[in-house]
A and B are shown apart, each in its own frame.
Chain A
Amino acid sequence: MARFKSSAWGLAVAIALVALVLPLMLPSYALATECLIFAMAALGCNLLLGRLGLLSFGQAIFFGAGAYCVGILSLRFGTGIVAGLLAATAVSALLAVAIGWLATQRTGVYLIMLTLALSQMFFFLCYAAPDVTGGDNGLMNIPRPNLAFGGHELLSLASPFAFYVFVATICTVAFYLMARLIASPFGATLEAIRDNEDRAVAIGYDTRLYKVIAFVAAGAVTGLAGGLYALALKFVPLANVDLAMSERIIVMTILGGTNALFGSMLGSIAVVVLSYVLSDIWARWQIILGALLVAVALYLRGGLASLLDKAVARANEGARP
Chain B
Amino acid sequence: MSVNLLLTQIVNGLGIGMIYFMIAIGLSIIFGIMHFINIAHGAFYLVGAYLCYALVSATGNFWLALALAPLAVGVVAWLAEPGVRRLYDLPASLQILATLGLALVIQEAVILIFDPLGKNVAAPAGLRGAAFFGSFVYPKYRLFVIVFTAAVAAVLWFLLERTRYGAVLRAGTESMQTVELLGIDISRIFSLTFAVGAALTALSGVLAAPIRGVEPFMGVEALSIAFVIVVIGGIGSFTGALAGGLLIGVVQSVMTTFWAAGANIMIYVAMALIILVRPHGLLGRA
A interface residues, Cβ below 8 angstroms from B: 49, 55, 102, 105-106, 108-110, 112-114, 116-118, 120-121, 124-125, 127-128, 243-244, 247, 250-251, 254-255, 258, 284, 286-287, 289-294, 296-298, 301
Q: Would B275 and A293 count as touching, CB distance under 8 A?
A: no
How distant is the Cα of A254 from the Cα of B227 in the complex, in angstroms? 22
Contact pattern, B 74-111, Cβ under 8 Å of A = 1, otherwise 0:
00000000000011001011111110111111011101
B269 at the interface (CB under 8 A from A): yes
The 8 closest A-B pairs by CB, nearest first: A293-B101, A290-B104, A297-B98, A128-B261, A290-B105, A117-B271, A121-B268, A290-B101
In the complex, 19 of the A-B residue pairs with CB atoms within 8 angstroms, ordered by the A residue number, are A106-B275, A110-B279, A113-B275, A117-B269, A118-B268, A120-B268, A243-B220, A247-B100, A250-B96, A250-B97, A251-B97, A284-B108, A284-B109, A290-B100, A290-B101, A291-B101, A293-B100, A294-B101, A301-B90
B182 at the interface (CB under 8 A from A): no
Q: Would A301 and B272 count as touching, CB distance under 8 A?
A: no
B interface residues, Cβ below 8 angstroms from A: 31, 37, 86-87, 90, 92-98, 100-105, 107-109, 111-112, 220, 224, 227-228, 231, 259, 261-262, 264-265, 268-269, 271-272, 275-276, 279
Output the least CB separation between B282 and chain A (Å).
15
Residues of A within 8 Å of B272, CB to CB, are 102, 114, 117-118, 121
Q: Would B93 and A287 count as touching, CB distance under 8 A?
A: no
Q: Would A114 and B105 count as touching, CB distance under 8 A?
A: no
Q: Would A287 and B112 count as touching, CB distance under 8 A?
A: yes
Output the least CB separation between B258 and chain A (Å).
12
How distant is the Cα of A255 from the Cα of B104 in the complex, in angstroms? 15
Q: Which of B90, B103, B227 contacts A116 (CB 8 A)?
A: B227
Output the least CB separation between B94 and chain A (Å).
4
- Known A121-B268, A255-B97; further 14 A-B contacts with Cβ < 8 A: A105-B276, A106-B276, A106-B279, A114-B276, A117-B228, A117-B269, A121-B269, A124-B268, A284-B108, A286-B104, A286-B108, A289-B104, A293-B98, A298-B87
Chain B residue at minimum C-beta to C-beta distance from A287: B108
Chain A residue at minimum C-beta to C-beta distance from B116: A283
Q: Which of A109, A244, A284, A290 contacts B92 (CB 8 A)?
A: A109
- Residue among A102, A106, A112, A290 with most chain B CB within 10 A: A290
Q: Would B111 and A124 count as touching, CB distance under 8 A?
A: no
How distant is the Cα of A127 from the Cα of B98 in the complex, in angstroms? 30
Residues of A within 8 Å of B104, CB to CB, are 286-287, 289-290, 293
How distant is the Cα of A113 from the Cα of B264 in the complex, in angstroms? 16
How distant is the Cα of A238 from the Cα of B151 in the complex, in angstroms? 41
Residues of B within 8 Å of A292, CB to CB, are 101
How distant is the Cα of A291 from the Cα of B227 in the complex, in angstroms? 24
Q: Would B275 and A287 count as touching, CB distance under 8 A?
A: no
Given A114-B276, A247-B100, A297-B97, is A55 in contact with B261 using a C-beta cutoff of 8 Å? no
Residues of A within 8 Å of B96, CB to CB, are 55, 112, 250, 254
Given A55-B92, A127-B261, A284-B112, is A298 in contact with B86 using a C-beta cutoff of 8 Å? yes
